[in-house]
Chains A and B, each alone.
Chain A
């Protein structure tokens, strides 16, 4: 009887469990019962196995990954897409690296003298990446540097 009431309650209050991380245990219970499976997005690329990842460097002592971007920074479209790419790469790779991994982004702008070296460019990069990655923003574990 109690079990039936619990199942009924979970089914009725599915909306609450679906948006609350704190109620994870209840959600797990509900998931095992198959109550929430219909919420899962069917056509998500993030559910697929995209294979191995290779950061440009990884220091296990510091738990720090290095990413080097020797991209073309001389036109705005390339800079915009480079930011999207860098954020996406760090975000995806972070899921496969040890927890709380620090991430150092090194932008190789050698030979691209027209690129602005002003702080604004650096802030633009950090902000553009962090605002799409709350985990990185909260942990402040993202460093953007330039190879000049």
Chain B
């Protein structure tokens, strides 16, 4: 089981810059690009349940990734477990669902 989030952008980001900003090879969050062929740009975020237990700074990592995607790279971020677009007002709800 994993906790899944998806990022959506209308305008193509600079992927190399984005990759440099958000991807951590030893981090808790797995990432993958999605080619949907609808003119939009997607990035999948998946957090395996074992990583939720073993990465004490998981929330800090995720919050940083979400902020980078939303504020720097023009993404909307959607919490697939909660069923809502993430913004500053509901970050706490996402945190509660993810780590309690």
Contacts and interface: CB of A to CB of B under 8 A. Distances in A.
A54 interface: yes
Interface string B65-100: 000000000000010111110000000000000000
Contact of A43 (B16, B43, B50): B16
A85 B32 CA distance: 10
B32 A78 contact: no
B3 to A, nearest CB: 9
Interface residues of A, number: 33
B44 A48 contact: no
Interface of A: 43-46, 48-54, 56, 68-75, 77-78, 81-82, 84-85, 87-89, 91-93, 132
Interface in B38-76: 42-44, 46, 48, 50
A71 B81 contact: yes
A81 B16 contact: no
Given A72-B81, A78-B78, A81-B80, A45 B19 contact: yes
Given A45-B33, A70-B1, 19 more contacts: A43-B15, A43-B16, A48-B19, A48-B23, A50-B23, A51-B30, A53-B32, A54-B48, A54-B50, A69-B4, A72-B81, A72-B84, A78-B78, A78-B80, A85-B80, A88-B32, A88-B36, A89-B4, A92-B44
Contacts of B2: 54, 56, 68
Contacts of B46: 54, 89
B15 A45 contact: yes
Contacts of A71: 4, 80-81, 83
A70 B2 CA distance: 8
